[in-house]
Amino acid sequence: MKPKFFSGSQLKWIAIVTMLLDHIAKIISFRPFINGALPYMVETTKLFGLSQILFPIFILIGRIAFPLFCFLLVEGFVHTSNTRRYLVRLSLFALISEVPYDLAFSHRVIDFDSQNVFFTLVIGLVVIIGVEKYTFTSIKNSILSLIFIGSGVFLAEWLQTDYGGWIGILLITILYLFRRSSLLKCILGGLVLLQNSWFGLFAFIPIYFYNGQRGKQWKYFFYWFYPVHLLVLFAIQQFLVVPYLI
């Protein structure tokens, strides 16, 4: 029997920290100057030089976050006592997070060209709810399950949600379908994730050694962390970084 080290709470903290590093690099950036020539003073600042070293590393480490969030979504679905409430809660935070997400990544209050990761998780949850209802026990149910999966992939791609359908929805589906096989779900999930990043494969190490325990619960903290940290990073970028560079 393989050793089991990580609780659900520990996986959440790993996901939160790695996501934060990724967003620090992407939001607190020098984007206002990237499209044109960087002012000489900007190029020679220690802040700029340090960012050129650290930010690519932060983004690389950040690839670990999304597979963990997908895995935790599946675990939440499997163990929740109220699927409808779980879906409503995710949907509510998808809506709450959209303006902070758009401000942080496109500097617009509303940007229909890209939707935050909560929308990917909501669609993924709907897909696995459908797959659970129409399990692959007959030809008819198999077709219905494939329709649910295909529709989820299409919707996520059409809405342009973070990680989209071919990565996000497929990864959630695989983690659900093969949830009873620690090795198989990691291998197949890793193959899907390779479309985005090889470094994200490291997320499957704590997933593989998940101990099945929830750990200390910080439920609403983790939900609120996403929109709040986006607003904070956006404010830092707009009111501290940009004025400093100008």
Is the confidence at residue 90, as pLDDT, over 60? yes
pLDDT tens, residue by residue, 115-138: 999 999 999 999 999 999 888 778
Q: What is the pLDDT of residues 170-211, one digit of tens each?
A: 999 999 999 999 999 999 999 999 998 899 999 999 999 999
Question: What string of DSSP letters covers 60-90?
Answer: HHHTTHHHHHHHHHHHHHHH-S-HHHHHHHH
DSSP secondary structure code for residue 236 in this structure: H
What's the pLDDT at 40? 47
CA 114 to chain centre: 14
Instruction: Give the separation between CA 48 and CA 36, rounded to whole angstroms.
Output: 15
pLDDT at 29: 72
Q: What is the pLDDT of residue 196?
A: 87
Burial of residue 72 (number of CB atoms within 10 Å: 0-12, 13-18, 19+): buried
Residue 52 has what pLDDT?
76
